[in-house]
Amino acid sequence: MRRIYILSTLILTLLASNLSIHAQSNVIDEVIAVVGDNAILKSDVEHQYQQSLMEGANFAGDLKCNIFEQQLISKLLLNQAELDSIEISENEVVNQVDQRINYFISQIGDKEKLEEYFNKSLLQIKRDQMEMVRTQMLTQSMQGEITKNIAVTPAEISAFYRTVNKDSLPMIPTQFELKQIVLNPKIEQKEIDRVKTQLRDFQRQINEGRDFATLAVLYSEDKGSAQRGGELGWMPRSGLVPEFASVAFNLQDKKRVSKIVETEYGFHIIQLIDRKGERINCRHILIKPKVGQKALDETKATLDTIRGLIADNTISFEEAALRFSMDKDSRVSGGTMLNPETGTKKFELSQIPVAINKELQNMEVDDLSNSFYMMDERKGQATYRLVLLEKKTAPHKANKRDDYQMLQNMLENKKRQETLDDWIKEKQSDTYITIDKSWVNCEFNYKGWIK
């Protein structure tokens, strides 16, 4: 079955290709295809081919021809995105490039090694990535537009399961369903005062002419935005936590600094960059109060007491989660944890945070863990937790009873694939496409490339 929906993965791989082929300067660049107003260069295919070989690609057919067809599809999507005036903001591109560069650095060791490998400065490397990331984001947006109305009914899922070849269904590894109670240690007032004093000093410096962005680079504890001078990029109100959004959207003067804002992440000061309707671009400095050992000990003791009440059946786990848990996402559902990767209650072992995973090693279904320390990586916040193992499913062949959500996803992906297939065939016929004669003998999945 053709896998056009993995196009975004292939383009992401393309972003990393320079890491392995930067020295391949002997590739003679030439245009080997044109789709609409977009050209495909020989180096585009050669670079991706070398990267695929390094990653151990195992492809039964002609790998170069397969890569070439993926490039053709990418240009077809890009051409339509341009015709439909789909826009990607510069800040979104910059944010994505920063994430890719950080990934490259994590793989190669450090910034200096990356610069040495490319024989370029970090700034030059980022500039090289900008157009590729912009193209990727445009094609992904176009792909999303084409398939945005895909939906399946329970009757369709049942019919799909009846007719699908059962041998083609995947083996499902061990899965876990979990509930949690989360307590955050109390921050001492003197630590809050220290943070506020530091932020007030930043406000004073900025009002006296110091650059906000420079202070953000030096001191902000939001590592993602600090390297961009605290800039968050264009965001809707819904993309910001309420306390932050309330203050940010009330800023009028681009030179002034906001009052100190407290959120679940810590304490902020904010500066307006620009605003367009209900979207805002601002920069901030985040300082997180530090938790003392006394507060950690007290939090653990409190959670131990809650655990005792649950173990004695004085209170149910669900009621305790609703009354005591400080995790707003799971509290209202009685502590039920949702897998952020799938949106379901099911977790594979590799998807469970290490600290929780460690507790599960000696637990059976309906067992309650001891209270344990865990750092909330998303918020950078120390917590103590209790976990209840609600359900554990042994490895099995996918079936309708245990894996309904997975079957729904399979059917939705199948319908997306079919919708994309139809769209590609239609656009092949009414889009200007020319292919160099040296590539026309490829065995394409879509026959409409050659005209």
pLDDT in tens, 370-399: 999 999 887 888 999 999 999 999 999 999
pLDDT at 302 over 70: yes
172-186+292-397 has which CATH code? 3.10.50.40
Dig out the tokens for 278 from the structure: 């209900």
130, 257, 243: which is closest to 204 by C-alpha? 257
**Where along the chain do its domains lie?**
4-151+409-449, 172-186+292-397, 189-287
Query: Sorting pLDDT into bands at 50, 70 and 90, what band is 199?
Result: very high
Q: What is the pLDDT of residue 1?
A: 38
Rounded Cα distance, 308 and 286, in Å = 37
SS3 (DSSP) at 360: helix
SS3 (DSSP) at 375: strand
- Secondary structure (H, E, C), 82-137: HHCCCCCCHHHHHHHHHHHHHHHHHHHCCHHHHHHHHCCCHHHHHHHHHHHHHHHH
Q: By percentage, how much of the chain surpasses pLDDT 90?
A: 67
Q: What is the pLDDT of residue 120?
A: 83
Residue type, 184: N
Q: Give me the sheet containing 279-287, strands edge to edge.
A: 235-236, 279-287, 266-276, 261-263
DSSP state of 61: S
**Which parts of 105-226 are beta strand (E)?**
171-172, 175-183
How does DSSP assign 268-289, residue by residue? EEEEEEEEETTEEEEEEEEEPP
Rounded Cα distance, 335 and 101, in Å = 36
User: Taking residues 7-16, what's their average pLDDT?
Assistant: 39
Rounded Cα distance, 22 and 118, in Å = 6
Backbone angles phi, psi at 119, to 5 degrees: 60, 40
pLDDT at 293 over 80: yes
pLDDT at 220 over 80: yes
Is 189-287 the same fold as 4-151+409-449? no
CA 199 to chain centre: 30
Let me know if 111 is exposed, middle or buried by CB neighbors in 10 A (0-12, 13-18, 19+): middle
Q: What is the pLDDT of residue 55?
A: 67
**pLDDT tens profile 430-451:** 999 999 999 999 999 999 999 8
**Which parts of 207-334 are beta strand (E)?**
235-236, 261-263, 266-276, 279-287
Q: What is the pLDDT of residue 28?
A: 54
Q: Give me the sheet containing 38-41, strands edge to edge.
A: 38-41, 31-35, 433-435
Q: What angle do CA 243, 247, 253 make, to 5 degrees?
A: 165
Tell me the residue length of the chain: 451
Number of other residues whose CB lies within 10 A of the CB of residue 370:
13
288, 332, 121, 272: which is closest to 198 by C-alpha? 288
Residues sharing a CB contact under 8 Å with residue 300, sequence separation 6 or more, in sequence order: 371, 373, 384
CATH class belonging to 189-287: alpha beta
pTM score, whole prediction: 0.65
The dihedral region occupied by 402, where left means phi > 0, alpha psi between -120 and 50, and beta the remainder, is: alpha
66, 16, 24: which is closest to 45 by C-alpha? 66
**Which parts of 19-70 are beta strand (E)?**
31-35, 38-41
Number of other residues whose CB lies within 10 A of the CB of residue 90:
12
Residue with tokens 């080997």: 32
Q: What is the pLDDT of residue 164?
A: 92
Rounded Cα distance, 404 and 150, in Å = 17
**pLDDT tens profile 109-140:** 777 888 887 788 888 888 878 888 888 899 99
**pLDDT tens profile 30-45:** 999 999 999 999 988 9
- Cα torsion angle, 418, 419, 425, 428, sign: negative
Average pLDDT score, the chain: 88
**pLDDT tens profile 240-271:** 999 999 999 999 988 889 999 999 999 999 99
How many Cα atoms within 13 Å fall on the side-chain side of residue 95? 15
Query: Sorting pLDDT into bands at 50, 70 and 90, what band is 24?
Result: very low
Q: What angle do CA 67, 425, 422 make, to 5 degrees?
A: 105
Query: What b/e sequence results for 244-280 when a residue is b if at least 16 CB atoms lie within 10 Å of its CB, and e otherwise?
Result: bbebbeebeeeeebbebbebebbbbbbbbbebeeeeb
Q: 3.10.129.10, 3.30.110.30, 1.10.4030.10, 1.10.510.10: which CATH number matches 4-151+409-449? A: 1.10.4030.10
